Amino acid sequence: MDNLVKAARRGLACLDLTNLNDDCTHEDIDLLCERAQTPHGPVAAVCLWPQFISQARTRLHGTGIRVATVVSFPEGDHPVSDVIAMTEKAVANGADEIDLVVPYKALMEGHPENIPARVARVKEACDGAVLKAILETGVLSERALIAEAAKLAIDGGADFIKTSTGKVRVNATPQAVEAMLEVIRTSKLPVGLKPSGGVRTTEDAKLYLDMCDAAMGPDWVSPTTFRFGASGVLDALLATLEGQAAPDTGDGY
């Protein structure tokens, strides 16, 4: 249990508390920002639709919790001019972090060059905001494709590589994370990792934290290098920290 409590504490500090539901409302964002400030400390960030950036920025002022949003989401095939405009507007509205869905379908169709080109353009538009590149590993599926997408995103200048949108049938898996960690380690660059979608329990969180410790060393994980993209896992982490039974966490994104 002590190991689970430690994992829950580490996981909470690295959590991107997320609401990317299609029916998300301003009231939902108020609740998200309130939940982000837990009795056991704040989460790392909230991740939400672009139209809620200013609201979250105001609600979280002075908390140290960062505001993340998504662009080219969830398909990754928006015209590049639109994605640049989305990114510039999001940063102007106060987004600290941009989660970009890379053109992963182009990779599957034999056009790998589209990924680093897109990442590089969006990185420039971020104007200092952190850029997380979403690979959609559950669709890429094959380890070689996942590794290639990860390398291409890093080549383009991504600050983090992220598994998933949470909008497809298969999201974060240990196999995808293992492949991504190998690419990060080989790159020798300060690139972070974000497992996203399907992280439901403290045991799930501990599995990914243990994988990072084994691959990158016990001091690597921190909010600057590692995030969980999830919402359902928060209640599980808090229950572990408070010595309570784990709740039914639902979908986990």
Active-site hit among 96, 162, 204, 206: 162
Residue-wise pLDDT for 125-175, tens only, equals 999 999 999 999 999 999 999 999 999 999 999 999 999 999 999 999 999
| Selection from 152, 188, 162 nearest residue 14 by Cα | 162
Active-site hit among 151, 194, 204, 206: 194
Residue 91 has pLDDT above 80, yes or no: yes
- What's the pLDDT score for residue 1? 63
- What's the pLDDT score for residue 6? 97
Cα 48 to its chain centre, rounded Å, is: 11
The first and second tokens of residue 129, run together, are 């905001």
Residue with tokens 């010595």: 243
Residue 7 has pLDDT above 80, yes or no: yes
Told to judge if 251 belongs to the known catalytic residues of this protein, a careful annotator would answer: no
Active-site hit among 16, 96, 99, 159: 99
- What's the pLDDT score for residue 97? 99
Told to judge if 206 belongs to the known catalytic residues of this protein, a careful annotator would answer: no
Residue-wise pLDDT for 22-50, tens only, equals 999 999 999 999 999 999 999 999 999 99
The DSSP secondary structure of 192-231, one letter per residue, reads EEE-BS---SHHHHHHHHHHHHHHH-TT--STTTB-EEES
3-state secondary structure at position 19:
strand
Considering the chain, what percentage of its residues have pLDDT values greater than 70? Answer: 97
The first and second tokens of residue 171, run together, are 């999201």
- Residue 194 neighbours by CB distance under 10 Å: 26
Told to judge if 123 belongs to the known catalytic residues of this protein, a careful annotator would answer: no
Q: If pLDDT is split at 50, 70 and 90, which confidence band does 251 have?
A: very low
Q: Is the distance from CB of 104 to CB of 144 less than 8 angstroms?
A: no
Residue 247 has pLDDT above 80, yes or no: no
pTM of the model: 0.96
Q: What is the mean pLDDT of residues 73-78?
A: 97
